[in-house]
Chain A
């Protein structure tokens, strides 16, 4: 279990160094997208059209924040459950994205895509929305404002705490952790 402090966008060298269980503090620009936004982004990729942001080395955060209070860049902003993005994530990774932040297990296709394209699935602490929201220094809606909390935002984070769940070697922290603590009758 190592600790890393990484800047976005992530390189292949960055992601290859990470192993399931490592703690990473991310700084720099990341992008927010949930189900509805992913559908639109993947539709654009498949149609060969330009995306609202550069996918190369990008980290996508699965989050739908609360509205900001006056003077704040964003409200509470913890991760949402990731499996709803499973059908879109391999396409995102294939086209240059290198990281995803969410919570909960991914399907085999996503884990395989992490190995094939050098991507990482990071887990953030679900329900720690106040703490995680404070790590976000600026936020700007860059696409699909009509989706409300589900709009795509460009956010700048500082020392955003995440844990590596699925690495580029096919490891899965959820499986490893559970095997270690499961008590068999």
Chain B
């Protein structure tokens, strides 16, 4: 059984949070650059130019890319042969999150649902983190992290369709979500789609789909084709960067699919803004 110190996890998570807030991942930067070159609207082109300039300033001057530094979302794969010494893995991730947000001068965006009170004074700074655990073979801990902003989360939706709705039903549902959202989620967006499973499995899959690098393709040929079809349909909506009209509403569409109940076709759409701050580490 491999042993990992509690504080090593805390420091790794803290550093990951601080770095991710100011560094737009290369896949997203490249995708925005390509979108600017292909965009037909001069207004939308100027928006994307500002986003690239913003990414350069953020990286060079270590300033947060966006004032919405998100809720911290983690997908964690824990090897069956690794043990944390000195505390629980969950507590280490939360402690790293709190330190990352405070030491990085990032915004505390967590609040109580009804009183809207900021949890800074009661629970912690931007805590609790949203953590999805999985247990896998081996003696490593793989941590995927994203800083998830509110604007794009607000337009996300899940629905359980009748099986007869099929692919067409899924395409229509996604188009409806993105069309209604307009410029609110800060396009050019990434569209994460979870298909199948149960209601909550579809939602979690749509979140995890957003963690995939933008230049990758779906290994399942059927889903790969569906991603391309939906991307074209979404871009045909004409929403464009920041909703000001244009040909590049989405940078990518990512699908994760699961087997589902014979009576159901769950589908979930989770939207990611252009500031797709995601990274992963292996401890």
Number of chain A residues close to chain B: CB under 8 A: 49
B106 at the interface (CB under 8 A from A): yes
Residues on B facing A (Cβ under 8 Å): 22, 40-44, 46-47, 50-51, 53-54, 57-58, 61, 63-69, 105-109, 116, 118, 120, 149-151, 154, 182-184, 186, 236-240, 242-247, 273-275
Which of A5-13, A50-58, A72-80 forms part of the interface with chain B? A72-80
Please determine whether B50 and A178 come into contact, CB atoms closer than 8 angstroms: no
Given A76-B66, A123-B242, A178-B238, 19 other A-B contacts at CB below 8 A?
A: A66-B64, A66-B69, A75-B63, A76-B58, A77-B67, A78-B68, A103-B151, A125-B47, A129-B54, A130-B65, A131-B50, A131-B54, A134-B57, A134-B63, A148-B118, A149-B109, A174-B182, A181-B245, A181-B246
Contact (A148, B274) CB under 8 Å given A83-B184, A129-B66 = no
The docked-state distance in angstroms from the alpha carbon of A128 to that of B241 is 12
Are A181 and B41 in contact (CB-based, < 8 A)?
yes
Judged by a CB distance under 8 angstroms, whether A46 is at the interface is no
The reply to whether A128 and B64 form a contact with Cβ atoms under 8 Å apart is no
Query: Interface code A16-57, partner B: CB below 8 Å = 1, 0 otherwise?
Result: 000001010000000000001000000000000000000000
Does B67 contact A178, Cβ atoms closer than 8 Å? no
**Residue from A36, A129, A173, A181 in contact with B67 in the complex, judged by beta carbons closer than 8 Å:** A129
Which residue in B41, B105, B120, B244 is a CB contact (below 8 Å) of A148? B120
A-B pair count, CB < 8 Å, reads 171
Complex-state Cα separation, A141 to B273, whole angstroms:
29
CB within 8 Å of B: which A108-155 residues: 123, 125-134, 148-149
Among A63, A130, A173: residue with most chain B CB under 10 A: A130
Our pick among B107, B150, B245 for the contact of A66 (Cβ within 8 Å) is: B107
